Amino acid sequence: MLYPVLRDMNNWLDNDFDDMLNTSWMPRMNVTAPAINVKENDKEYEIELAAPGTTKDDFKVNVDKDGNLTIKMEHKDEKKDENKKEHYLRREFSYSNYEQALTLPEDVEKDKIEAKVNNGVLHITLPRTQKAEKETKRIEVA
């Protein structure tokens, strides 16, 4: 399981998501994972996952009680055209399967997360809570 590490109060998101998405430790086989982008602004985080040829029915996005966002994608290309007299000599993209789990920051409003697919890109919007400014409270010393 991946846990975020706070390195710098002003730049935690870059390091946090970089750590979670780092796959350099995995052995490279003849398989590629979808490219993923994570953006932020004052109101929300956005995750973009590139999976050309997919539709909304290929994705399942869940948030568990511990604040982990799970993205699952399964795409099957089962087109068969009996009228054509051609056949594949090599076919590598008839099936793809992907799963990614991310630990969400604490300021995400989990009940307002939205996901949509547009042109083979999954967009997940993670609204941020509006935290009140922290007030300084003076404690009297007795």
Q: How confident is the model at residue 6 (pLDDT cuts 50, 70, 90)?
A: very low
138 within a domain of the structure (yes/no): no
Give the model's confidence band at 127: pLDDT under 50 very low, under 70 low, under 90 confident, else very high: very high
Model pLDDT, residue 141: 86
For residue 110, count CB atoms less than 10 angstroms from its CB and return exposed for 0-12, middle for 13-18, buried for 19 or more.
middle
Is residue 71 in some structural domain?
yes
| Structural domain includes residue 84 | no
**The pLDDT of residue 3 is above 50:** no
Q: With 50 as the cut, is the pLDDT of residue 8 above it?
A: no
Measured in degrees and rounded to the nearest 5, phi and psi for residue 114 equal -125, 150
Structure tokens at 129: 């809570």
Rounded Cα gap, residues 56 and 74, in angstroms: 10
User: Would residue 5 count as lying in a domain?
Assistant: no
CATH number at residue 64: 2.60.40.790
Residue 140 in this model has a pLDDT that exceeds 70: yes
- Residue 24's pLDDT is 55
Instruction: Give the whole-angstrom CA distance, residue 39 versus residue 13.
Output: 9
What does the angle CA 91 – CA 51 – CA 125 come to, to the nearest 5 degrees?
165
- Domain residues for the domain of 73 are 12-78+91-127
The answer to whether 120 touches 91, Cβ cutoff 8 Å, is: no
128 vs 142, more confident: 128
How much is the pLDDT for 37?
93
